[in-house]
Amino acid sequence: NKESSSSRGALIVLEGLDRCGKTSQSGRLYKYLEERGHSVESWRFPDRNTGVGQMISSYLANQSQLDDHAIHLLFSANRWEKRSLMEEKLKSGTTLIVDRYSYSGVAFSYAKGLDIGWCKAPEIGLLAPDLVVYLDISPEKAAERGGFGDERYEQLEFQKKVAGSYLALRDSSWKVIDATLSIEDIEKKLREVVLDCMKACHKGKPLSQLWP
């Protein structure tokens, strides 16, 4: 029918501090949607598979040093190099579950002290998510979860600043889920907001661009 032939996928973004459970929840959500026959893909940023992604990866592993502005622009470029594929997928009806997006880009660089307007500028024109889910956990609680890893940024003091940045970025459209609930409860809440969003996109909610 007419509606299904023009229906598009949803751009769903998961954000939150390191160790908030984003990655395992996106995996569970992907499996759930896939098993129900939805066309869905699981994406993440940084996408470490591209040339830019490899530069980012070596920076995060402390194997290279870069000016804060330079690495910020690389993270943004890493989204720009995936933009056309992203649009193609969404328009052809595939829902994308994306682990981190422009909000991580701004939150981490702003936490270093860069100007927030400057941080947002290179993201203008990227596709705006249809849904942003924030998995909410305090930096202290996140740190208790077996500690952080060895990558740059994975330190309590810095994570506290990132939490502050996310607060500055959050708006009323974000769905905030308490990340200290059980895995199953989080999964259930996540499915609800995601299915609602997918329905709206199927019904013709237009794709839009950052920053709305």
With respect to ligand 2DT, which residue has the nearer C-beta, 68 or 185? 68
With respect to ligand 2DT, which residue has the nearer C-beta, 99 or 130? 99
With respect to ligand 2DT, which residue has the nearer C-beta, 158 or 195? 158
Could you tell me the sign of the dihedral formed by the alpha carbons of 26, 31, 37, 40, in that order? positive
Task: Measure the CA–CA gap between 39 and 4, rounded to whole angstroms.
Answer: 13
Minimum distance of ligand 2DT from residue 59's CB (angstroms): 9
With respect to ligand 2DT, which residue has the nearer C-beta, 39 or 209? 209
- Asked if residues 161 and 18 have their Cβ atoms less than 8 Å apart, the reply is no
Minimum distance of ligand 2DT from residue 31's CB (angstroms): 19
Minimum distance of ligand 2DT from residue 46's CB (angstroms): 5
Minimum distance of ligand 2DT from residue 42's CB (angstroms): 13
What residues make contact with ligand 2DT under the rule CB under 6 A?
A: 45-46, 60, 75, 100, 104-105, 108, 153
Minimum distance of ligand 2DT from residue 152's CB (angstroms): 8
Residues 6+ apart with CB under 8 A from 201: 7, 8, 9, 10, 95, 130
Q: Tokens at residue 38, please?
A: 């939805």
Q: Which residues pair with 44 in a beta bridge?
A: 99
With respect to ligand 2DT, which residue has the nearer C-beta, 95 or 104? 104
Question: Using CA atoms in the order 159, 22, 142, 128, what is the torsion angle rounded to 10 degrees?
Answer: 30
The SS3 of residue 45 is coil
Query: For residue 212, is the peptide bond before it cis, meaning its omega torsion is within 30 degrees of 0?
Result: no
